[in-house]
Structures are given as structure tokens and as C-alpha cells.
Chain A
């Protein structure tokens, strides 16, 4: 068996991880297919506010008589897109900086690590608040672009990724340093392998697992950050639905309409659980040392 096949086999043997992946795929498909699967999430009916589940509205309606299922699916599109894009962007930035820092050492390392320290030392929430309040029109974007849904999402992705890459960078650097001290890397160096080759063949595979753990966790983390920003009135803004702003909106009336808070809360919980469990499985499958 090739290493890839072995990894796949190990992953397939991990039932809970497989189930989590299935849940995740189903959620993603449902979110992607929202425009075809669900009704118009913005169509409202003031005469049918806060109704119980029915054939027309499988999860009932919200405080404006909109279909909760439709909003949940469309909100999922936004939340998953934000989380995936942010975690991916942050991991990419972090890995690159961590690898460079760890392998090149010297002044590059010192400079990059001071940058990392600086960004990491920035108090996350207050900084996000400042960034979210900045007027994007000052950055020279056209009014058309500012009003698109893509911008609303992209803004949060960039803001969170800009401050979110540091953990990965540090983990990767630490791991790189540790790996470099190991015999097989030193041996590779001794027989004349170039730095790029060492980086790709020996270090990258070894740092992959901490990156995966961190990225998995950060996917969930970003969904939570988005909901926290929504709570402060700075997240994805209505009428665009996200799980975060649906939950925030529902919390005020949780005593009289508990299911409104239940569904987005459950969606966040299940998604983050599934992402984490699937990532965990992947980590185990990738990590050869734990089984061989």
C-alpha cells in the first residue's frame, strides 16, 4: 500500500470521524443547495409570525413570518463560507510564515516572530471591533462593491484572518525547529538536501498535523467569532442571515420563542462538533507515528 492509501484506509476505519465527515458534507450540500431546496429566506408574512412547524414551514416561522428552515440553510451558506474561507486563509498565511521563520532562522526568523508576537499580542476582540467599524469607503471601494453580499462576507473573512494566522505560525515554527533537530532531517541535510527539499519532504509532512488541528479548531472558532461580532452588532448584518445573527436575534425573546434560538444554536454546535471530529480523524490518519 502507498502512504496515501494507508492514510485513507486508516481514516475509513475511524467510524465517528467518517460520520462527522458525512454530517459535514450533508450540511455543506444543504447550504450550497439552499436556493433550490428552500423557500425565499427574505419572503415574509406578517400574518404568520412565530408559527409552529407545519407542512409549509417544516421548522415554523420567525418573528417576521419568514421560513426558519430557509433562513437556517441560507444562514449556513454564509456561516460556512465565512468560516471556511477565514480558516483556510489564516492557515495558509500562518504555515507560510511559520515555515519560513523556522527553516530560514536568523534575522528572518527574528523579524517574522516579532511580527507574530505583535499581531498575537493585539487584543483580538477590541481590534476586531475597531476594524469592523472602519469605513470601507475610505479604502477606495466602489459603492456597488460595498453593497454586494460578497463584500459583507469578505470583510469579515479578511479581518479575522488578518489577526488569526498567528497561532498556526507559531505552532508550525515550533514544530519546524523541533523537527529540524531530529535525526532524519539532520541526516538529510548531511547528505546535501537543499533547504526547499528539506522543507517540502521532511518538514511539511511533519508540521501538517498540528496545522490541521489548529485549522479545524479555528473553523469552529471563526463561526463563534462571527456570532460574537453579531452579538456586538458588528458581524454579518441583516437582512443577510448567518447563524450568528439569527442566534443573537433570537436570544432576546428566548423565553417566549425558544425554538428560534434552538435551531441556529444547534446548527453551530453540530457543525463545529462535526468539523472538529472529522479533523481529528484526519489527524490520526495522517499521523503515522501513532500507529506504525
Chain B
């Protein structure tokens, strides 16, 4: 219990340092949205620019703005998004929900394919299943996501006309029912799942084989354990360690890393929101979004360690 508390405390420190670094990096990005506005509209005068920069506080040094932001967070306020002119929470909440939906669906699909396939492939190394799984894994990690997404879209939405090309739901009858939402979920989920499944297959297979070569498995076989029992009881339990770690660590990454898929399928999620906020110098929104994504990853990492300790008795002993 104490260990967990310590980890949580450390995570808080990581978040604090992170917020500083990100604020600084964004501060180092040249230009600001007011400059962009002027470039797009020659009628905007320099006087307008000076007035707007002062209004949004963009004329202050970034360290000062950071401290002010920190104080604001200390009061428990996330503040207003400069871009959307609404409270940060109002903007963030729907994006989080949308991304979570996409994340859970694609992770579930990827694992549903990868885990059995990885175990199966490892049960007969070099067999045809192993080769097929290997090929699938290789192809999965070798395809650029944006290309995959667009090709799936061209195939299923344009050529076959089976599925919608983008968005979260159709706009008829106040937003469509469950079936309609599922139809819209298929292609982005498939894209993310295909891109993610390969590494799970590889890790699962590698972990299973790793265990197969260890002494205790051979001992178990020598003692007369049946192959299925060895596989499920001994090998799988220990092979689960690295795989769980990988999955737990992936969760946070998926949270903001679905940017490309979200862009291609016009899915209003976290990745796109953070991208827009960063590019638009919307500090309140960008920091809240990035910190949330970071917190998710940190939580994943703590979970991974917990799982590690729970599954590997050797670590517990240390």
C-alpha cells in the first residue's frame, strides 16, 4: 500500500515537471495565433494585434504565465479555452469520452486476435500457424496508419459503400441509434486494432517461447505434466508478465496517439483536440489535455508494476 502511495506521489512530481517542460516548449514555439490571424486577414491592424496579445496575456513572458496558470490550477480551476471560448472541462469531457470509446474497442479487438494467435503460434514454433501469425504481425507493424485508414475507407466506404467514411454518427433523426454508432465505430477501430495487434502477437509469442525454454517448464514436462496444463498453467502465467506490461503502457499512448486515425476518420477525440490546442497556443486546453494523457500513461505504468509484482514472485521478494 505504501508503495502505491509513493508511486502516486512520484507521479504527481512527474506531472508537475511535465507541465513545466511542456509549457516551456510551447512557449518556445515561434509565433502565436494573433500573428496567424494577421497573416490571414490584411485588414487586421497592428493596433489590433497589440491589443489582442495584451488581452490574452501573450505579451507576458512564459514563465510568468506558467506561474499564473499553476496558481489557477491550485485553486482547482482549469480555466477557459482560448480557442473555443468555453471552459476547458466542457471541451475536454466529450473528447475524452469519444477517445475512450475508440481506445477500448480497438484494444479489445487487437487483444482478442493477438493473444490466442500468439499462444497458438508459440505452441508450435515454425508451424504454419506460427508463420501466418508472424506475417500478420509483421504486416501490422509495417503499414503507415494514415495509409491503412484511407485504404480501408476507400474500400469499405467508397467502393463497397458498406460503412460510413467518417464521423461518430449520422445526422439523421437526432444522431442515429446504437447500430448507426457501431457502424461509424467499425473503420477507425479496425484501423487502430490492425496497427496495434502486431506487437501484441509478437510479444505474446516471444514471451511464451521464452518460458518454454526455461528449466522449470522442462522440469514440469519431465515430471509428466500434460502439454495443455504446462501451457496454460505455467507458461501463460509467466508469459503474461511482459505482455501485461506492454498493454498497460500502451493504454496511455493510445489516449493521445490516435491522432492520425482521428484525423482521417473525423473523430472528435483527444488526439485531434490536443493537436489543435498545441498548434493554436491554447495553453489552458493543451496543458489540461496533455497532462490528462500523461496521467493516463502514469496510471498505466503503476498498474503495470502492480501486475508485475503480482505475477512475478521473484520481484515481490526483492
User: Residues of A contacting B274 with CB < 8 Å?
Assistant: 123, 126
| CB within 8 Å of B: which A256-285 residues | 261, 265, 268-269, 272-273, 276-277, 280
Interface of B is mostly: helix
Task: Say whether, besides A117-B14, A120-B301, A290-B213, A129 and B139 are in contact (CB < 8 Å).
Answer: no
CB-CB contacts of B18-31 with A at 8 A, as 1s and 0s? Answer: 10001001101110
User: Residues of B contacting A138 with CB < 8 Å?
Assistant: 28, 30
CB-CB contacts of B150-192 with A at 8 A, as 1s and 0s? Answer: 1000100000000000000000000000000000000000000
User: Residues of A contacting B145 with CB < 8 Å?
Assistant: 224, 228
Q: How far is B13's CA from A138's CA once the two chains are assembled, in angstroms?
A: 28
What is the CB-to-nearest-CB distance from B279 to chain A, in angstroms, rounded to a whole number?
A: 7
- B212 closest partner in A (C-beta): A290
Contact A123 B256 (CB under 8 A): yes
State which of B14, B30, B146 has its C-beta within 8 Å of the C-beta of A118.
B14
Contact A125 B213 (CB under 8 A): no
Q: Quick check: is B225 within 8 A (CB to CB) of the other chain?
A: no
Q: Quick check: is A237 within 8 A (CB to CB) of the other chain?
A: no
| CB within 8 Å of B: which A214-260 residues | 217, 220-221, 224, 227-228, 231-232, 244, 247-248, 251, 254-255
State which of A117, A124, A181, A217 has its C-beta within 8 Å of the C-beta of B257.
A124
User: Residues of B contacting A170 with CB < 8 Å?
Assistant: 245, 249
Contact A124 B253 (CB under 8 A): yes
State which of A129, A224, A273 has its C-beta within 8 Å of the C-beta of B278.
A129
User: Residues of A contacting B26 with CB < 8 Å?
Assistant: 130
User: Residues of A contacting B13 with CB < 8 Å?
Assistant: 114
Contact A131 B25 (CB under 8 A): yes
Contact A289 B271 (CB under 8 A): no
Task: Say whether, besides A117-B298, A247-B144, A125 and B259 are in contact (CB < 8 Å).
Answer: yes
User: Residues of B contacting A213 with CB < 8 Å?
Assistant: 202, 206
| CB within 8 Å of A: which B118-152 residues | 134, 138-139, 141-147, 150
Contact B146 A227 (CB under 8 A): yes
Contact B146 A277 (CB under 8 A): no
Contact A121 B301 (CB under 8 A): yes
- A135 closest partner in B (C-beta): B30
- A166 closest partner in B (C-beta): B249
Contact A231 B138 (CB under 8 A): no
Q: Quick check: is A146 within 8 A (CB to CB) of the other chain?
A: no
State which of A171, A251, A290 has its C-beta within 8 Å of the C-beta of B209.
A290
| CB within 8 Å of A: which B239-270 residues | 242, 245, 249, 252-253, 255-257, 259-260
User: Residues of A contacting B242 with CB < 8 Å?
Assistant: 171, 174
User: Residues of B contacting A130 with CB < 8 Å?
Assistant: 22, 25-26, 29, 278
| CB within 8 Å of B: which A116-156 residues | 117-118, 120-127, 129-131, 133-135, 138
Contact B260 A121 (CB under 8 A): no
User: Residues of B contacting A158 with CB < 8 Å?
Assistant: none
User: Residues of A contacting B271 with CB < 8 Å?
Assistant: 125-126
What is the CB-to-nearest-CB distance from B248 to chain A, in angstroms, rounded to a whole number?
A: 11
Contact A289 B214 (CB under 8 A): yes
User: Residues of A contacting B315 with CB < 8 Å?
Assistant: 177
Contact B256 A273 (CB under 8 A): no
Task: Say whether, besides A231-B260, A277-B138, A123 and B147 are in contact (CB < 8 Å).
Answer: no
CB-CB contacts of B265-302 with A at 8 A, as 1s and 0s? Answer: 00000010011001100000000001001110110010
Contact A273 B144 (CB under 8 A): no
| CB within 8 Å of B: which A169-221 residues | 170-171, 174, 177-178, 181, 213, 217, 220-221
Q: Quick check: is B199 within 8 A (CB to CB) of the other chain?
A: yes
What is the CB-to-nearest-CB distance from B6 to chain A, in angstroms, rounded to a whole number?
A: 10
Contact B138 A273 (CB under 8 A): yes
Contact B147 A125 (CB under 8 A): no
What is the CB-to-nearest-CB distance from A106 to chain B, in angstroms, rounded to a whole number?
A: 12
Q: How far is B14's CA from A178's CA once the two chains are assembled, in angstroms?
A: 26
Q: Quick check: is B232 within 8 A (CB to CB) of the other chain?
A: no
Contact B146 A228 (CB under 8 A): yes
Contact A227 B139 (CB under 8 A): no
Q: Quick check: is B72 within 8 A (CB to CB) of the other chain?
A: no
User: Residues of A contacting B245 with CB < 8 Å?
Assistant: 170, 174
State which of B28, B147, B290, B312 has its C-beta within 8 Å of the C-beta of A135.
B28
Contact A122 B18 (CB under 8 A): yes
What is the CB-to-nearest-CB distance from B255 to chain A, in angstroms, rounded to a whole number?
A: 7
Contact A289 B213 (CB under 8 A): yes
Q: How far is B293's CA from A289's CA once the two chains are assembled, in angstroms?
A: 40
Q: Quick check: is B44 within 8 A (CB to CB) of the other chain?
A: no
User: Residues of B contacting A129 with CB < 8 Å?
Assistant: 275, 278-279
Contact A217 B141 (CB under 8 A): yes
Given contacts A123-B274, A133-B279, A231-B260, 7 further A-B contacts (CB under 8 A): A122-B297, A244-B144, A254-B154, A269-B143, A272-B138, A272-B142, A290-B212
Which residues in B have some Cβ–Cβ distance to A below 8 Å? 10-11, 13-14, 17-18, 22, 25-26, 28-30, 134, 138-139, 141-147, 150, 154, 199, 202, 206, 209, 212-214, 242, 245, 249, 252-253, 255-257, 259-260, 271, 274-275, 278-279, 290, 293-295, 297-298, 301, 308, 312, 314-315, 318
Mind listing 30 A-B residue pairs with CB under 8 Å? A114-B14, A120-B297, A121-B294, A123-B274, A123-B294, A125-B271, A126-B275, A126-B278, A127-B25, A130-B22, A130-B25, A130-B29, A130-B278, A138-B30, A181-B314, A224-B142, A228-B145, A232-B260, A247-B144, A251-B150, A265-B144, A265-B147, A268-B144, A269-B139, A269-B142, A269-B143, A276-B138, A280-B134, A290-B209, A290-B213
